[in-house]
Amino acid sequence: MNAKEIIEKLKNTHDLSDEELLFLIEMPSLPVEDDWKKRMRGENIRFTQEEELLFGAADDVRRAVYGTDVYVRGLVEFTNHCRNNCYYCGIRRDNRHVERYRLTHDEILSCCDEGHGLGFRTFVLQGGEDPCFSDEKICQLVADIKAAHPDCAVTLSIGEKTRESYQAYFDAGADRYLLRHETADEGHYHKLHPVEMSLNNRKRCLFDLKEIGFQVGSGFMVGSPGQTAQNLLADLRFLQELSPDMIGIGPYLVHNDTPFASEQNGSMLLTLRLVAILRLLFPYALIPSTTALGTIHPRGREYGLSVGANVVMPNLSPTGVRKLYSLYENKICTGDESAQCRSCLENRVSMAGYRIVTDRGDVKR
Protein backbone atom coordinates (compact mmCIF):
# COMPACT_ATOMS: atom_id res chain seq x y z
CA MET A 1 0.00 0.00 0.00
CA ASN A 2 1.14 3.55 -0.61
CA ALA A 3 0.82 6.46 1.86
CA LYS A 4 -2.55 7.56 0.46
CA GLU A 5 -4.05 4.09 0.84
CA ILE A 6 -2.65 3.69 4.36
CA ILE A 7 -4.09 7.06 5.44
CA GLU A 8 -7.49 6.19 3.91
CA LYS A 9 -7.46 2.86 5.75
CA LEU A 10 -6.61 4.59 9.03
CA LYS A 11 -9.36 7.16 8.49
CA ASN A 12 -11.96 4.50 7.77
CA THR A 13 -11.02 1.71 10.18
CA HIS A 14 -9.19 3.62 12.97
CA ASP A 15 -6.47 1.00 13.03
CA LEU A 16 -3.45 -0.15 11.05
CA SER A 17 -0.93 -2.98 11.12
CA ASP A 18 2.40 -2.39 12.89
CA GLU A 19 4.14 -2.03 9.52
CA GLU A 20 1.65 0.59 8.34
CA LEU A 21 1.90 2.63 11.55
CA LEU A 22 5.69 2.49 11.35
CA PHE A 23 5.49 3.69 7.74
CA LEU A 24 3.57 6.81 8.87
CA ILE A 25 5.93 7.39 11.81
CA GLU A 26 9.06 7.02 9.72
CA MET A 27 8.15 8.70 6.42
CA PRO A 28 10.49 11.62 5.71
CA SER A 29 9.62 15.27 6.35
CA LEU A 30 10.93 18.31 4.50
CA PRO A 31 13.79 20.10 6.25
CA VAL A 32 12.73 22.96 8.51
CA GLU A 33 13.84 26.26 6.90
CA ASP A 34 16.27 28.13 9.12
CA ASP A 35 15.31 31.58 7.78
CA TRP A 36 14.81 33.40 11.13
CA LYS A 37 12.33 35.93 9.69
CA LYS A 38 10.11 33.08 8.51
CA ARG A 39 10.55 31.40 11.86
CA MET A 40 9.48 34.57 13.71
CA ARG A 41 6.37 34.68 11.55
CA GLY A 42 5.85 30.96 12.08
CA GLU A 43 6.20 30.24 8.36
CA ASN A 44 9.35 28.14 8.24
CA ILE A 45 7.56 24.78 8.31
CA ARG A 46 6.57 23.01 5.09
CA PHE A 47 4.74 19.71 4.83
CA THR A 48 5.17 16.86 2.37
CA GLN A 49 2.20 15.75 0.26
CA GLU A 50 1.86 12.68 2.48
CA GLU A 51 1.77 14.86 5.62
CA GLU A 52 -0.85 17.13 4.02
CA LEU A 53 -3.00 14.05 3.36
CA LEU A 54 -2.55 12.74 6.90
CA PHE A 55 -3.27 16.12 8.49
CA GLY A 56 -6.33 16.68 6.25
CA ALA A 57 -7.75 13.27 7.18
CA ALA A 58 -7.23 13.98 10.90
CA ASP A 59 -8.97 17.34 10.61
CA ASP A 60 -11.91 15.75 8.77
CA VAL A 61 -12.36 13.22 11.58
CA ARG A 62 -12.01 15.86 14.29
CA ARG A 63 -14.63 18.06 12.60
CA ALA A 64 -16.98 15.07 12.19
CA VAL A 65 -16.89 14.37 15.95
CA TYR A 66 -16.25 17.76 17.57
CA GLY A 67 -16.98 20.29 14.79
CA THR A 68 -14.79 23.36 15.27
CA ASP A 69 -15.13 23.33 19.08
CA VAL A 70 -12.01 23.79 21.17
CA TYR A 71 -12.25 23.16 24.90
CA VAL A 72 -10.22 25.16 27.39
CA ARG A 73 -8.80 23.75 30.60
CA GLY A 74 -7.62 26.20 33.23
CA LEU A 75 -4.30 24.88 34.48
CA VAL A 76 -3.28 25.54 38.09
CA GLU A 77 0.29 24.41 38.75
CA PHE A 78 -0.02 24.38 42.52
CA THR A 79 3.28 22.85 43.65
CA ASN A 80 6.66 22.32 42.04
CA HIS A 81 7.92 20.08 44.85
CA CYS A 82 8.37 16.48 43.72
CA ARG A 83 9.68 13.38 45.46
CA ASN A 84 10.64 11.83 42.11
CA ASN A 85 13.73 12.24 40.03
CA CYS A 86 12.73 11.64 36.40
CA TYR A 87 15.82 12.33 34.31
CA TYR A 88 14.04 14.63 31.82
CA CYS A 89 12.20 16.88 34.26
CA GLY A 90 13.23 20.37 35.39
CA ILE A 91 11.47 20.09 38.76
CA ARG A 92 13.00 16.70 39.63
CA ARG A 93 13.95 16.22 43.29
CA ASP A 94 17.69 16.63 42.79
CA ASN A 95 17.52 19.92 40.90
CA ARG A 96 18.87 22.35 43.51
CA HIS A 97 18.59 25.32 41.14
CA VAL A 98 14.82 25.51 41.10
CA GLU A 99 13.05 27.77 43.59
CA ARG A 100 10.32 25.64 45.13
CA TYR A 101 6.77 26.86 45.87
CA ARG A 102 3.40 25.65 47.01
CA LEU A 103 0.14 27.53 46.56
CA THR A 104 -2.15 27.67 49.57
CA HIS A 105 -5.65 26.20 49.58
CA ASP A 106 -7.11 29.70 49.25
CA GLU A 107 -4.74 30.70 46.46
CA ILE A 108 -5.78 27.63 44.46
CA LEU A 109 -9.46 28.39 45.03
CA SER A 110 -9.02 31.99 43.94
CA CYS A 111 -7.28 30.84 40.71
CA CYS A 112 -10.40 28.76 40.00
CA ASP A 113 -12.74 31.66 40.87
CA GLU A 114 -10.86 33.89 38.47
CA GLY A 115 -10.91 31.18 35.80
CA HIS A 116 -14.64 30.68 36.20
CA GLY A 117 -15.18 34.40 35.59
CA LEU A 118 -13.16 34.08 32.39
CA GLY A 119 -15.33 31.21 31.11
CA PHE A 120 -13.32 28.16 32.16
CA ARG A 121 -15.43 25.12 33.04
CA THR A 122 -12.60 22.69 33.75
CA PHE A 123 -9.79 23.18 36.23
CA VAL A 124 -6.67 21.06 36.08
CA LEU A 125 -4.77 20.90 39.37
CA GLN A 126 -1.26 19.86 38.43
CA GLY A 127 1.77 19.35 40.61
CA GLY A 128 4.79 17.23 41.33
CA GLU A 129 4.37 14.30 43.71
CA ASP A 130 4.40 16.45 46.81
CA PRO A 131 3.81 14.60 50.09
CA CYS A 132 2.78 17.88 51.77
CA PHE A 133 -0.47 17.69 49.86
CA SER A 134 -1.99 14.77 51.76
CA ASP A 135 -5.05 12.95 50.47
CA GLU A 136 -7.14 14.89 52.98
CA LYS A 137 -5.87 18.21 51.61
CA ILE A 138 -6.47 17.17 48.00
CA CYS A 139 -9.98 15.89 48.82
CA GLN A 140 -10.84 19.12 50.63
CA LEU A 141 -9.58 21.16 47.69
CA VAL A 142 -11.62 19.15 45.20
CA ALA A 143 -14.74 19.33 47.37
CA ASP A 144 -14.38 23.10 47.84
CA ILE A 145 -13.87 23.76 44.12
CA LYS A 146 -16.88 21.60 43.23
CA ALA A 147 -19.01 23.33 45.87
CA ALA A 148 -18.04 26.77 44.56
CA HIS A 149 -18.40 25.81 40.89
CA PRO A 150 -20.77 22.86 40.50
CA ASP A 151 -20.91 23.40 36.73
CA CYS A 152 -17.19 22.67 36.40
CA ALA A 153 -15.07 19.55 36.05
CA VAL A 154 -12.01 19.05 38.25
CA THR A 155 -9.03 17.24 36.80
CA LEU A 156 -6.13 16.07 38.94
CA SER A 157 -2.61 15.57 37.63
CA ILE A 158 -0.57 14.70 40.70
CA GLY A 159 1.17 11.47 39.80
CA GLU A 160 1.25 7.91 41.03
CA LYS A 161 -0.86 7.11 44.11
CA THR A 162 -2.47 4.09 45.71
CA ARG A 163 -5.83 2.90 44.49
CA GLU A 164 -7.29 3.98 47.83
CA SER A 165 -6.05 7.53 47.30
CA TYR A 166 -7.53 7.65 43.80
CA GLN A 167 -10.84 6.36 45.16
CA ALA A 168 -10.84 9.08 47.84
CA TYR A 169 -10.24 11.82 45.22
CA PHE A 170 -13.04 10.41 43.08
CA ASP A 171 -15.40 10.24 46.04
CA ALA A 172 -14.55 13.87 46.86
CA GLY A 173 -15.79 14.85 43.39
CA ALA A 174 -12.76 14.76 41.06
CA ASP A 175 -13.90 13.95 37.52
CA ARG A 176 -10.73 13.37 35.55
CA TYR A 177 -7.11 12.35 36.05
CA LEU A 178 -4.09 12.97 33.84
CA LEU A 179 -1.10 10.66 34.10
CA ARG A 180 1.15 10.37 31.07
CA HIS A 181 2.74 6.98 30.72
CA GLU A 182 5.68 8.70 28.88
CA THR A 183 6.88 5.46 27.28
CA ALA A 184 5.32 2.00 27.13
CA ASP A 185 8.63 0.23 26.54
CA GLU A 186 10.27 -1.22 29.64
CA GLY A 187 13.86 -0.66 28.45
CA HIS A 188 13.15 2.91 27.35
CA TYR A 189 11.28 3.61 30.60
CA HIS A 190 14.46 2.83 32.55
CA LYS A 191 16.50 5.19 30.37
CA LEU A 192 14.15 7.99 31.42
CA HIS A 193 13.50 7.13 35.06
CA PRO A 194 15.56 6.10 38.08
CA VAL A 195 15.47 2.52 39.25
CA GLU A 196 12.95 3.12 42.04
CA MET A 197 10.26 3.99 39.50
CA SER A 198 8.43 1.32 37.52
CA LEU A 199 6.42 1.21 34.32
CA ASN A 200 4.25 -1.51 35.82
CA ASN A 201 3.20 0.77 38.65
CA ARG A 202 2.45 3.59 36.20
CA LYS A 203 0.25 1.23 34.20
CA ARG A 204 -1.39 -0.10 37.37
CA CYS A 205 -2.30 3.48 38.29
CA LEU A 206 -3.87 4.13 34.89
CA PHE A 207 -6.01 0.99 34.96
CA ASP A 208 -7.04 1.67 38.60
CA LEU A 209 -8.14 5.18 37.62
CA LYS A 210 -10.22 3.81 34.77
CA GLU A 211 -11.85 1.16 36.90
CA ILE A 212 -12.74 3.71 39.58
CA GLY A 213 -14.59 5.76 36.98
CA PHE A 214 -12.35 8.73 36.21
CA GLN A 215 -12.11 10.13 32.71
CA VAL A 216 -8.46 9.23 32.21
CA GLY A 217 -5.74 10.98 30.23
CA SER A 218 -2.39 9.56 29.28
CA GLY A 219 0.28 10.32 26.71
CA PHE A 220 3.98 10.54 25.99
CA MET A 221 6.87 12.75 24.92
CA VAL A 222 7.95 12.66 21.28
CA GLY A 223 11.70 12.51 20.75
CA SER A 224 12.71 11.75 24.33
CA PRO A 225 16.31 10.52 24.68
CA GLY A 226 16.78 7.02 23.31
CA GLN A 227 13.29 6.80 21.80
CA THR A 228 12.89 4.69 18.65
CA ALA A 229 10.05 4.34 16.13
CA GLN A 230 9.34 0.95 17.72
CA ASN A 231 8.94 2.68 21.10
CA LEU A 232 6.38 5.05 19.57
CA LEU A 233 4.55 2.10 18.09
CA ALA A 234 4.47 0.54 21.57
CA ASP A 235 3.04 3.81 22.92
CA LEU A 236 0.21 3.72 20.37
CA ARG A 237 -0.54 0.07 21.13
CA PHE A 238 -0.55 0.73 24.88
CA LEU A 239 -3.01 3.59 24.38
CA GLN A 240 -5.25 1.26 22.36
CA GLU A 241 -5.18 -1.16 25.30
CA LEU A 242 -5.96 1.60 27.82
CA SER A 243 -8.48 3.45 25.62
CA PRO A 244 -8.07 6.77 27.48
CA ASP A 245 -10.43 9.72 27.13
CA MET A 246 -7.64 12.29 26.86
CA ILE A 247 -4.29 11.87 25.13
CA GLY A 248 -1.58 14.50 25.63
CA ILE A 249 1.66 14.44 23.70
CA GLY A 250 4.32 17.05 23.14
CA PRO A 251 7.84 17.25 21.82
CA TYR A 252 10.50 16.37 24.39
CA LEU A 253 12.16 19.65 25.41
CA VAL A 254 15.51 19.82 27.14
CA HIS A 255 15.95 21.28 30.62
CA ASN A 256 19.53 22.36 31.32
CA ASP A 257 19.48 21.33 34.99
CA THR A 258 18.83 17.66 34.28
CA PRO A 259 21.05 14.70 33.38
CA PHE A 260 19.73 15.13 29.80
CA ALA A 261 21.07 18.69 29.42
CA SER A 262 23.11 17.79 26.33
CA GLU A 263 20.29 15.95 24.52
CA GLN A 264 18.33 17.33 21.54
CA ASN A 265 14.76 18.61 21.57
CA GLY A 266 12.13 16.41 19.93
CA SER A 267 10.75 17.22 16.48
CA MET A 268 7.72 19.40 15.95
CA LEU A 269 6.90 17.71 12.65
CA LEU A 270 6.97 14.22 14.13
CA THR A 271 4.83 15.45 17.04
CA LEU A 272 2.26 16.86 14.61
CA ARG A 273 2.27 13.62 12.69
CA LEU A 274 1.60 11.67 15.88
CA VAL A 275 -1.21 14.05 16.91
CA ALA A 276 -2.83 13.33 13.54
CA ILE A 277 -2.31 9.56 13.91
CA LEU A 278 -3.84 9.70 17.40
CA ARG A 279 -6.89 11.60 16.13
CA LEU A 280 -7.41 8.90 13.47
CA LEU A 281 -6.87 6.02 15.92
CA PHE A 282 -9.07 7.63 18.61
CA PRO A 283 -11.70 9.81 16.87
CA TYR A 284 -13.51 10.50 20.17
CA ALA A 285 -10.43 11.56 22.17
CA LEU A 286 -9.74 14.89 23.81
CA ILE A 287 -6.30 15.84 22.51
CA PRO A 288 -4.60 19.02 23.74
CA SER A 289 -2.47 21.21 21.56
CA THR A 290 0.21 21.43 24.21
CA THR A 291 2.27 24.28 25.59
CA ALA A 292 5.35 22.25 24.59
CA LEU A 293 4.22 22.53 20.94
CA GLY A 294 3.82 26.28 21.39
CA THR A 295 7.27 26.45 22.97
CA ILE A 296 9.07 24.63 20.15
CA HIS A 297 7.53 26.81 17.44
CA PRO A 298 5.67 30.17 17.49
CA ARG A 299 2.67 28.62 15.72
CA GLY A 300 2.98 25.16 17.23
CA ARG A 301 -0.36 25.22 19.01
CA GLU A 302 -2.19 26.45 15.91
CA TYR A 303 -0.59 23.66 13.88
CA GLY A 304 -1.60 21.18 16.59
CA LEU A 305 -5.24 22.27 16.32
CA SER A 306 -5.20 21.99 12.54
CA VAL A 307 -3.96 18.36 12.65
CA GLY A 308 -6.55 16.99 15.09
CA ALA A 309 -6.08 18.54 18.55
CA ASN A 310 -9.21 19.99 20.19
CA VAL A 311 -8.15 21.20 23.65
CA VAL A 312 -5.97 24.06 24.91
CA MET A 313 -4.76 24.43 28.49
CA PRO A 314 -3.97 28.05 29.40
CA ASN A 315 -2.28 28.80 32.67
CA LEU A 316 -4.36 30.07 35.59
CA SER A 317 -1.52 29.95 38.12
CA PRO A 318 -0.51 33.27 39.69
CA THR A 319 2.04 34.98 37.40
CA GLY A 320 4.59 35.09 40.23
CA VAL A 321 5.06 31.30 40.21
CA ARG A 322 4.62 30.43 36.53
CA LYS A 323 8.31 30.60 35.69
CA LEU A 324 9.08 28.28 38.61
CA TYR A 325 7.07 25.41 37.17
CA SER A 326 9.84 24.83 34.66
CA LEU A 327 9.58 21.29 33.37
CA TYR A 328 11.70 22.34 30.35
CA GLU A 329 13.55 25.43 29.06
CA ASN A 330 11.90 28.54 27.54
CA LYS A 331 8.35 27.56 28.45
CA ILE A 332 5.89 30.06 26.96
CA CYS A 333 3.03 31.91 28.69
CA THR A 334 4.87 32.35 31.98
CA GLY A 335 4.24 36.11 32.23
CA ASP A 336 0.74 36.93 31.04
CA GLU A 337 -2.22 37.50 33.33
CA SER A 338 -4.96 34.88 33.06
CA ALA A 339 -7.26 37.24 31.16
CA GLN A 340 -4.50 38.04 28.66
CA CYS A 341 -3.78 34.32 28.26
CA ARG A 342 -7.41 33.65 27.53
CA SER A 343 -7.75 36.38 24.87
CA CYS A 344 -4.41 35.51 23.24
CA LEU A 345 -5.50 31.89 22.95
CA GLU A 346 -8.93 32.85 21.67
CA ASN A 347 -7.24 34.79 18.84
CA ARG A 348 -4.87 31.94 18.04
CA VAL A 349 -7.71 29.40 17.97
CA SER A 350 -9.87 31.54 15.71
CA MET A 351 -6.92 32.30 13.37
CA ALA A 352 -6.53 28.53 13.02
CA GLY A 353 -10.21 28.23 11.99
CA TYR A 354 -11.77 26.91 15.22
CA ARG A 355 -13.60 28.42 18.18
CA ILE A 356 -13.26 28.21 21.93
CA VAL A 357 -16.46 27.11 23.66
CA THR A 358 -17.51 27.64 27.27
CA ASP A 359 -18.20 24.05 28.21
CA ARG A 360 -16.92 21.32 30.52
CA GLY A 361 -15.79 19.60 27.33
CA ASP A 362 -16.51 16.00 28.27
CA VAL A 363 -15.40 13.21 25.99
CA LYS A 364 -17.77 12.20 23.16
CA ARG A 365 -17.53 8.43 23.05
Q: Where are the alpha helices (DSSP H) in the chain?
A: 3-13, 18-26, 36-40, 49-66, 105-117, 135-148, 163-172, 186-192, 199-212, 229-242, 268-281, 291-296, 300-306, 319-322, 338-351
**Minimum distance of ligand SF4 from residue 186's CB (angstroms):** 17
| Chosen residue from 7, 53, 73, 159 binding ligand SF4 by CB under 6 A | 159
Among the residue ranges 82-90, 221-229, 260-268, 278-286, the one whose residues contact ligand SF4 (CB under 6 A): 82-90
Is residue 319 involved in binding ligand SF4 (CB under 6 A)?
no
* Closer residue to ligand SF4, CB minimum distance, 91 or 286: 91
In angstroms, what is the minimal distance from the CB of 193 to ligand SF4? 8
Rule CB under 6 A: is residue 91 a binding residue for ligand SF4? yes
Closest approach, Cβ 196 to ligand SF4, in A, equals 12
86 sits near ligand SF4 (criterion: CB under 6 A): yes
Distance in Å, CB of 121 to ligand SF4, minimum = 26
Residue among 145 and 178 whose Cβ is closer to ligand SF4: 178
Q: Is 250 in the site for ligand SF4 (CB under 6 A)?
A: no
Q: Under the criterion CB under 6 A, does residue 53 sit at the interface with ligand SF4?
A: no
Which region, judged by CB under 6 A, interacts with ligand SF4, from 31-39, 80-88, 344-352, 354-362?
80-88
- Minimum CB separation of residue 323 from ligand SF4 in Å reads 16
Interacting stretch for ligand SF4, rule CB under 6 A, among 49-57, 83-91, 146-154, 221-229?
83-91
Nearer to ligand SF4, 217 or 308 (CB): 217
Contact 205, 166 (CB under 8 A): yes
Residue nearer to ligand SF4 on the CB measure, 214 or 252: 252
Among 92, 121, 255, 322, binds ligand SF4 (CB under 6 A): 92
- Beta carbons of 171 and 65 less than 8 angstroms apart: no
- Selected range binding ligand SF4 among 37-45, 78-86, 278-286, 353-361, rule: CB under 6 A: 78-86
Q: Determine which residue in the list 72, 82, 125, 269 makes contact with ligand SF4, applying CB under 6 A.
A: 82
129 vs 346, which CB is nearer to ligand SF4?
Answer: 129
Q: What is the DSSP string of 142-198?
A: HHHHHHH-TTSEEEEE-----HHHHHHHHHHT--EEE---B---HHHHHHHS-TT--
Q: How far is CA 72 from the centre of its chain?
A: 13
Choice from 7, 72, 89, 307 touching ligand SF4 (CB under 6 A): 89
CB of 277 to ligand SF4, least distance (A): 24
17-42 in b/e burial notation, b at 16+ Cβ within 10 A?
A: eeebbebbbeeebeeeeeeeeebeee
Q: List the Cα angle 289/291/297 in 5-degree steps.
A: 90
Question: What type of residue is 70?
Answer: V
Angle at 336 between CA 333 and CA 342, to 5 degrees: 85
Q: How far is the CB of 95 from ligand SF4 (least distance, A)?
A: 9
Round to whole Å and give the CA distance between 329 and 323: 10
d(C-alpha 225, C-alpha 221), whole Å: 10
Element holding 76 (H helix, E strand)? strand 74-79
The separation between the first and the last C-alpha atoms of the chain, rounded to the nearest angstrom, is 30
DSSP 2: -
198 binds ligand SF4 (CB under 6 A): no
| HSE (side-chain half, CA atoms, 13 Å) at 136 | 1
Is there binding between residue 75 and ligand SF4 (CB under 6 A)?
Answer: no
Q: Within a 10 A sphere around the Cβ of 216, how many other Cβ atoms?
A: 24
Q: Does 129 engage in binding with ligand SF4 (CB under 6 A)?
A: yes
Contacts with ligand SF4 by CB under 6 A lie at 82, 84, 86, 89, 91-92, 128-129, 159
